[in-house]
Amino acid sequence: MNKAEKIKKMKVPVNDNPELASRLPQGQVLTERFPILHEGEIPTYDLDTWTLKLFGEVEEEKVFKYADILAMPQTSVTCDIHCVTRWSRFDNTFQGVLFKDFLEAAGVNPTGKYVMVHGDQDYTANVPLEDLLRDDCLLAHTFDGKPLSAKHGWPLRLVLPHLYFWKSVKWVQGFQFMKENQPGFWEQNGFHLNGDPFKEERFSGEDLPIPEDEWEHKDYD
């Protein structure tokens, strides 16, 4: 049974608190935990050799070192995050480089309207470029004033808070610009192509119920 099928069989929580209605999507449970979910082993890096690549539908491919990222304008973003496995966590503060500032500093003019975000372990997630250009989309290296832990994506992760958190790729390796939208790893395994939590865009195909308790069995900070 794949992950999408397991989530469909979970108990569905009911959100009946009107004070939370504007922040907590239907079917989510609010937690102070920061559950750790990913595919594969946690990678290790040497920052002297770490790189981030921009490629695909661009005028010129470019590669950046970690020091290049730290030299770009730095921003803090406080946001709510929502995982497809039914947990939500409010008021998370990440620090890093806004993706739109990254593109400007990189001098890259994409000709494709879609992006495949590449992470370690051959993980991918598709995102429209317009989503990445929002004021809250961040290439994050710091969480709540401390460097990201390896389990949460150090040295660099994407933070895209208006979409389910599987789109916020850990251990980012590159951004591939595309002319057509193509499914990433989880999108090829039963998850929705877009992933808007307030529309409950959890799965591809028919809208099916999802559980609330799988994430409770995971490690967390």
The pLDDT, as a whole number, for residue 123 is: 94
The pLDDT, as a whole number, for residue 13 is: 60
The pLDDT, as a whole number, for residue 208 is: 43
CA proximity to 190, closest of 116, 37, 41, 84: 84
Residue spans of the domains in the chain: they are 3-217
Return the biggest CA–CA distance within the chain.
51
The pLDDT, as a whole number, for residue 21 is: 78
- Is residue 58 within 8 Å of residue 111, measured between CB atoms? yes
Q: For 52-70, what is each residue's pLDDT tens digit?
A: 999 999 999 999 999 999 9
Regions of the chain with pLDDT less than 70: 1-16, 18, 205-221
The pLDDT, as a whole number, for residue 53 is: 97
CA proximity to 174, closest of 143, 209, 139, 214: 139
The pLDDT, as a whole number, for residue 217 is: 47
The pLDDT, as a whole number, for residue 210 is: 47
- The reported pTM is 0.85
Domain at 3-217, CATH homologous superfamily: Oxidoreductase, molybdopterin-binding domain (3.90.420.10)
Residue ranges in 89-181 assigned as alpha helix (H): 99-106, 129-132
